[in-house]
């Protein structure tokens, strides 16, 4: 089983972020540190979003579309008599 470096780094960053948020006790008198917490949350979210957006999406396959060519087909009148040929486009 192979784990890419991006996935391992993302898992490590998530674990560190979760551990840091659980270790620091919240206190009401640290009102000045709210801006730093918001900035850290925005920065962490941007980093996680960038890592998720750059994930490998796998190969993409395209269909070549129909194969077409021109053929000459016989033309018959109402009596079943051959009157000539017509070029017709035939697609597979």
- Any idea where the domains of the chain sit in the sequence? 5-53
Report pLDDT digits (tens) over 11-32.
888 877 777 766 656 565 656 6
pTM: 0.31
**What is the Cα gyration radius of the chain?**
34
pLDDT at 54: 72
């Amino acid at each position: 089983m192979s784990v890419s470096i991006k996935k391992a780094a993302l898992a490590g960053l998530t674990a560190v972020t979760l551990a840091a948020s659980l270790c620091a006790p919240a206190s009401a008198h640290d009102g000045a540190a709210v801006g730093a917490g918001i900035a850290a949350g925005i920065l962490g979210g941007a980093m996680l979003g960038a890592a998720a957006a750059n994930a490998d999406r796998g190969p993409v396959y395209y269909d070549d579309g129909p194969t077409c060519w021109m053929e000459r087909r016989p033309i018959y009148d109402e009596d079943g008599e051959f009157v000539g040929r017509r070029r017709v486009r035939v697609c597979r």
